[in-house]
Amino acid sequence: MSDVTERTDEAAAVFGDVDVVRKIIHVDMDAFYASVEQRDDPDLRGKPVAVGGSAARGVVAAASYEARQYGVHSAMASVTAKRRCPDLIFVKPRFEVYRAVSAQIRTVFAEHTDLIEPLSLDEAYLDVTENKQGIAIATTLAQTIRDRIKAVTGLNASAGISYNKFLAKMASDLNKPNGQAVITPAMGPRFVAELPVKKFHGVGPATAAKMARLGIATGADLREKSLGFLQANFGKSGGWYYRIARGIDHRAVEPSRERKSVGAEDTFSDDIFDIAPATAEIKALAEKVWRHCEAKDLTGRTVTLKVKYADFRQITRARTLPAALRNAAELEQWANALLATVFPFEKGVRLLGVTVSSLEQRSGDAPSDTQLVLWREP
Ligand SMILES: [Mg+2]
């Protein structure tokens, strides 16, 4: 690559094709499922509550703040959660109630803007650069929205206010629960520089570990790397890391964004050859993917397994089912069936991925017994 080309690429990567200062608010309900349960059952208030799972099995889908003080968090095995917090109260999720509350929250958003991009039942980006009630100060608007949500639903929301989605999302965590924070254009680069990369939204544990091996611990470390270096090491994501290291994110708030698939993948620290670590990974991936589906109120009919070998060659195996998936156990079962078609592995495996596509809404389905298998008391 010549010098000139490289500079052009870097300029494009930094400046993109947008030159507008946006006002973005990321609204995130506090401990959403658990807070709804505490709202509706006074006996649960002030107590450690886990939604999903049971004392004996399953996975915690959401934990109340009281439970979090014991180190209980979502995605934790229920057995571990119970050990950390012996008084933990397990309640069954009521997705139909969460969906109804979510609809109320969106109605509040729509009083201010039509540019609403929901990320899940309890989280959304709002572009309020132009807003319906002409509130000039985005922090005032965020406070107004949170007050309205409280009045309408009785629940607390936190908010992050910034000039792009990445920073708004990071900001909503800063004063959680029941708080808000702003990251202005003047603050953005410094905020990112000081942030550990493992806290960046979109940088998972595998990427964070790889960055650590490359000597990248903070946003400042990331910023020191050239675009070429990041693309060489992280492929398509390299440009994204290059931009966010500078607090730059040109993604628009997309109201009608339709999700095509939900997937997760993980790189092994050492290449694997045996079936046992592969099936253990499939189980973890299936549970993770299903949690995302659940939170987004989605299911799907196509399961895809991705296998990347030690030499970086990648294969996928997919199967479309006659009926939509009903639970994590089914997803795991189909992913394992696909795994069986490539075992014994022709060489070491460095990465496995599981994706669900041919998505459809779960809303309206009467939950069957099998659908609740993850949550059922033994
Ligand atoms: Mg939340």
Ligand 1 center from residue 199 Cα (angstroms): 16
One digit per residue, pLDDT tens: the chain, 378 residues? 333 333 444 444 444 444 568 999 999 999 999 999 999 999 999 999 999 878 778 889 899 999 999 999 988 889 999 999 999 999 998 988 998 999 999 999 999 999 999 988 899 999 999 999 999 999 999 999 999 999 999 999 999 999 999 999 999 999 999 999 999 999 999 999 999 999 998 788 888 999 999 999 999 999 999 999 999 998 888 999 999 999 999 999 988 666 688 999 998 888 999 999 999 999 999 999 998 888 877 889 899 999 999 888 889 999 888 888 989 999 999 999 999 999 999 999 999 999 998 888 775 443 333 232 233 222
The pTM of the whole model exceeds 0.75: no
Ligand 1 center from residue 351 Cα (angstroms): 29
Whether residue 169 contacts residue 26, with contact meaning beta carbons closer than 8 Å, is answered with yes
Percent helix, strand and coil across the chain, each to the nearest 5 = 40, 20, 40
Tokens, residue 256:
């009608």
Domains observed in the chain: 20-31+96-183 (3.30.70.270), 33-95 (3.40.1170.60), 188-244 (1.10.150.20), 261-361 (3.30.1490.100)
- Amino acid code (one letter) for 209: A
Ligand 1 center from residue 91 Cα (angstroms): 18
Ligand 1 center from residue 60 Cα (angstroms): 14
Whether residue 308 contacts residue 349, with contact meaning beta carbons closer than 8 Å, is answered with yes
Residues catalogued as catalytic:
123
Ligand 1 center from residue 37 Cα (angstroms): 14
Ligand 1 center from residue 50 Cα (angstroms): 14
